[in-house]
Structure 1
């Protein structure tokens, strides 16, 4: 599934294999909106050499469910590489809830043939301690429900990424990572960096990455959601991030652009 080929500092070059599909890490996964595809997965593959993309399973579930089940997510996106699906956690962060259970999302992700799946979690974001504790507990319960649903299903085709929550509360982040380490997931994903990216609080994000990497060890890949500005990519890789996502390529829709000096507009 994951082979480490070389390393320096906490970073490494690796080979990720999911079924017949392969990609080299460090790996950047552009975010693809499954409905609008303002920049298509096919274009990313043909023009930028994208080996993997990430899309939103919850949006597909709500708006394109029957088509995705019939065609499979790769055909629906017209993409031959690795497809990772987020579960709707971002919608939970933005709107407070989603109209689906952890079990429904998990089985749907398997049914549409995603390569790397994420259980439905509750992102911490930037918040007070009481709310952060609540997001960690709910995320851990959702992960247990997801694993139970997959066991009952009997066949687990996708690689499953455990989302680690706790945000800037490093002790909660550590507790979440420690509990998830023994659950049997294939890889891990650090959540809730977006508000830090928007505030250019990179040093706090680096602390979060280091805490998580130290707890989960070095045998399995670490994914970082919403990595944001390209200027931080070398630093997160040096800290042990193997895969990361950003939707910054779509920021032009809001009149913004990414420059060396930061976001403009």
Structure 2
């Protein structure tokens, strides 16, 4: 994987760049189109879609047999596969990082997301416990990834938590790519009194500042 910064904003750390991965080249920023594996039509058959995101949870839940995700989707573009951490949390399903790695090795996505545990805004007292489990999975999966490009994920409801999470990820590896996790609950619950009191700022400002910290 190679990422080249073409232009950078010094205030927000926003960047224009070029990502090269597995012989494919795309300009960033880019929108990853979420796709349900068994749903049709395939938008990339009709429009210029070069980046697709799918979910390992679907493969586990529906027992889909896939030897190559690119052949299954019939695409030459980049494919990122999420671990399904959010769906697993919602449905209270346990899947091991070993199982997720097996799926990545079999389906061969361009990027596989580390099995993470999104923070539950209704259970703020246990957020550190969930983050420690994510860190444990991160270390295990990176040590056993072989040639799979894995993306660790940062979680936090305060900028202090985001900074600490970044430091703890860097203690394991200097990652080529990093995901920002817990976005769905952040967007849904940030305006509630508990999280707002923790955070001290509105949703958009928090997300901009969090991404700025991660990009440093």
TM range (shorter): 0.7 to 0.9
- Deviation >6 Å, runs of 4+: none
SS of 2:118's equivalent?
coil
Which consecutive residues of structure 1, in runs of 5 or more, have no partner in the other structure? 218-265
Query: Do 1:170 and 1:208's aligned partners in 2 also have CA atoms closer than 8 Å?
Result: no
CA distance in 1: counterparts of 2:75 and 2:161, whole angstroms: 37
Question: 1:186 aligns to what?
Answer: 176
Match of 2:153 among 140, 163, 168: 163
Question: 1:147 aligns to what?
Answer: 142
* Larger relative contact order (Cα-Cα within 8 Å, sequence gap ≥ 6): 1
Match of 2:87 among 82, 86, 91: 91
TM-score, with length taken from structure 1: 0.69
TM-score, with length taken from structure 2: 0.83
- 1:16-42, Cα deviation, whole Å (9 max, x unpaired): 11111121100101110112x2452xx
- 1:41-66, Cα deviation, whole Å (9 max, x unpaired): xx2x2433111010002212443543
Once the two structures are TM-superposed, the CA of residue 209 in structure 1 deviates from its matched residue by 4.2
CA distance in 2: counterparts of 1:117 and 1:56, whole angstroms: 10
- 1:32 is the counterpart of 2:35: yes
Which consecutive residues of structure 2, in runs of 5 or more, have no partner in the other structure? 192-200
Query: Do 1:129 and 1:169's aligned partners in 2 also have CA atoms closer than 8 Å?
Result: no
Distance 1:96 1:205, change over 3 A: farther
